Structure 1
């Protein structure tokens, strides 16, 4: 099994971290899936990855550069998982920037700075052209996988819901109603990119976004980390918690066994 993707696959912030450069956890869904199906895992997921850095461009991490994930692809792969596209659409970066802007805005000394940060973060939402480009990036990765592993099952695993239908402004979600609506639109655009990629390839979509709609921020059982002090975090801000990773792994395993 080979795992490709960004932080929602890498398990950013979930202990134990086994690769600090990549912010990759041994508790991420690829590790859980591999253990469940008895597969030898090659996990090259990297937090912050885009479809371009998976396919062909080195990824810059501070002063270091990591090679494209496809360079480490095992040609004898039987199963490949792919979670990417969120960073292409600036999804998590926007969430984090607005949250910290809200936090700064609540303090008199940094109120103006916070207001500016918040406004700048939502000033340029993803366009349809960017959505199509993210989808094309996913398609290109699937095609590259297929060239190297002709019989592999390729699973497109989309993103857990962060802002659910019932998410309201709160300490864990320090956003206005308009900002929440903006995040829902970006999440819908990201889901659209995966649907486009599935329809254009022979890859299979594991729709974890759909199964997690009632597990967003503010729900009784959230599968993603809300805005919280570092000491209270189970995962990186607005990323899957250990419970979220277990839910994703369960969905992938169920899908794997449902289509032999």
Structure 2
């Protein structure tokens, strides 16, 4: 399966393949077609499984279908922390490289004046934590009444951080008719109950943690009878030590 088989448009395929990725992950393969059909999603997949791309690429495509001039916020992405906001922003900038779409992040430490100036212009996608968003909502700087797509990222972490009431307050400000994408690393009972209260006939997608861990954490193991064997024969081998993106485990046999 390639990204072309997921009915993604060429500008998005071009952007993602330029990053070096040629095949979608399991969560991407399962979620993207349903998101393009404007279905609500209840997704459970571990960290590192590709959830950001799973919602970002199809949402960009849906927004691309209508790029008329506007001043409303069309898509809202809520996540747990400012660090995560910046991660999502960076990924979306990559996937939207060849698309005429605007993006704004609300984060700690950013100039309030510059954020307000950006909000007065076109905003296709707004990314924020619940707390930061409500700060601007309370000052009447943000209108969520025209939201077309709502994405809850790392919902388990947002609930653990005590954002339940904030999330409910934000949801009450969004239109009833919208597409909601709900993603979590785990699906405990309280998380599922929260999801059931906001999703409409969702497609449920679950990715096994084991598969993602096996793919992401391949660890070569080197054996030796003495520590000096590894010191002399392996640790001094700079080509092994400098192998990119590989964690190495050294085990000694007593």
Question: Greater RCO between the two (CA within 8 Å, min separation 6)?
Answer: 2
TM-score over 0.5 for the pair: no
- Name whichever structure is richer in strand by fraction: 2
